[in-house]
Structure 1
Amino acid sequence: MFRFAKNAVNLTGQAVRQVRQVRHGSSAPDFHDKYGNGLMVGGAVFCVAVWTFVVTQTGITWNTSPIGKVMPKEWRESEE
């Protein structure tokens, strides 16, 4: 599976470079060529770090069942 994914990414990268070269007429690296992969990796790392913090440190209870945890109050008859 890893080999397939690696080849697929390589093919799409080659296709993007070919299309960019045909459309723009130059092969000089632009912002996306220089920083695109780094920004994607940095964004993914940041997202994973933030969600890891939220899940482990904030104390939020995520969709747990209230069955057995919520007890009904004792019924009281009103005296009139």
Structure 2
Amino acid sequence: MLPFAKNALSRLQVRSIQQVVARQSHQKRTPNFHDKYGNAILAGGVLFCASAWTYQHKLE
């Protein structure tokens, strides 16, 4: 009885994993905040730091 129950349980787990993978592969991924604005925010931060560094060195 034990091997039969163990086999049935493992088959259920494999089937549920396969269903989750299939469900995820069919969903369309929508871009999140970082996908939309990540590069612009990074470029803005670099520009801000470079201009602040330049301004600071002009005062010296």
| Structure 2 unpaired stretches of 5+ | 1-23
**Which is richer in helix?**
2
CA distance in 1, matches of 2:57, 2:43: 21
Relative contact order (C-alpha < 8 Å, sep 6+): which is higher? 1
Normalising by structure 2, what TM-score? 0.52
Q: Residue 37 of structure 1: which of 39, 45, 60 is its match?
A: 39
Q: Structure 1: which 5+ runs fail to align?
A: 1-21, 60-80
Equivalenced residue count is 35
RMSD: 1.7
Q: 2:56 maps to which residue? A: 54
Q: What's the TM-score once normalised by structure 1's chain length?
A: 0.40
Question: 4+ residue stretches of structure 1 with deviation over 4 A?
Answer: none
Q: Alpha-carbon deviations, 1:24-65, whole Å to 9, x = none?
A: x65101000011000000000000000000001x22xxxxxx
